Amino acid sequence: MDEWKDLREADRQVPYARLDLKHRGVRARKFLSRPTLFFRFIHGGRINSIPVHYSIMMELTAKEMEMLRSYLWQDAGGGDPTGVFFPDQTGKAVITAEEDCVLSGIVPAMFLFEEEGCRLERVPGAVDGSLCGAGSEIMTAVGPTASLFKVERTVLNILSRMSGIATMAQEASRLAEEASPGTRVAGTRKTTPGFHLFEKRALIDGGALPHRYDLSSLAMIKDNHLKALGEGAESIAAAVDMIRELRGPYMLIEVEVEDISHGLAAVEAGADIIMFDNMSPRKLKEASEKVREEAERLGRNLTLEASGGITLENLAKYAPHVDVVSMGCLTQKALPKSFKMEYDSNIEICED
């Protein structure tokens, strides 16, 4: 089990796997996430020709625990006047999905219930990243009635938001795989302030890459940087050189380009990732082919990314030309999934 955890953690820590280009004769399966690869190798598991996404129940970081406590405080920090109804009562609460979805948010939900002194009874198979049908019970919490009601809304909000993102991420991953086996889908930094770590978790649970978690995760040279430095090939080379000098060879550098000339300049400058931004599929095809030819001539491995205006509807037109398609809509436009909590006071308390 430790191997699974290590593999999933690796997907969390880097924006993309540093792998050979799929368009250079390398088998496309190498571009699937390492956990997905491992699962297919051992079990041969596939669902409708889509790689099975095996999710590890990733442990919460100290920062995530701190954020979860703050969410609960925002809702219940001033106390709950109805808590006086049942000061010493114990009950049971069952969480049920009201829509088909890809589950995400189980680990944060468990933490919040346990933080308030409740005991969790998980439903087998109801884990982050698993498919869940409408009407399915996903967990049961037993504990002080006041605590169950205190946690209820925060838990349901988290499950709703995260499962919505995971569901859309899985659909995008499926479409990309069908259009171009091995092309990965990624999120962006277009996340909700204060909730971004959990939105990144949800992307992973849906089989997508999280992209960078914050500005420090990867050096991304964007169009506004180049405008400030002075547009042109020279500014791209200068920007890459400055970062290499400051951070050494261990910092990945991505350059955002909007035309072929800047793409070729980024290859020449030694960028690790080139993002083609706001290009039409036809222009992207031309640009990616020329950039790959130049990279091959120089003997450099690159990851090519497309971004800007890409949706579920047009994703298939972009996926064949790049290694990664990043989509802000995965976090900006994912619809929440509905969950409910039902309380039951008729429980049997087992004495240890």
Encode the chain (352 residues) as per-residue pLDDT tens digits: 343 344 334 444 433 333 233 332 222 222 333 233 222 222 222 222 223 334 456 889 999 999 999 999 999 888 888 877 878 889 999 999 999 999 999 999 999 999 999 999 878 889 999 999 999 999 999 999 999 999 999 999 999 999 999 999 999 999 999 999 999 999 999 999 999 999 999 999 999 999 998 888 899 999 888 888 876 668 899 999 999 999 888 899 999 999 999 999 999 999 999 999 999 999 999 999 999 999 999 998 999 999 999 999 999 999 999 999 999 999 999 999 999 999 987 765 444 4
Q: Which candidate, 352, 344, 325, 329, places its Cα nearest to that of 173?
A: 325
Residue 232: the pLDDT is 67
Looking at the domain that runs over 82-168+336-344, which CATH code has it been given?
Answer: 3.90.1170.20
Residue 55: the pLDDT is 46
- Rounded to whole angstroms, the Cα distance separating 187 from 163 reads 15
- Rounded to the nearest 5 degrees, what angle is found at the Cα of 103, between the Cα atoms of 97 and 105? 100
Can you say whether residue 156 is alpha, beta or left, with left for phi > 0 and alpha for psi between -120 and 50 degrees? alpha
Residue 29: the pLDDT is 28
**What sections of 192-270 are H helices per DSSP?**
196-205, 223-229, 233-247, 260-269
Residue 247 CB coordination number (10 Å): 12
Helix 62-76 vs helix 145-179: angle between axes, to the nearest 10 degrees? Answer: 130
pTM over 0.95: no
Residue 85: the pLDDT is 81
Residue 13: the pLDDT is 41
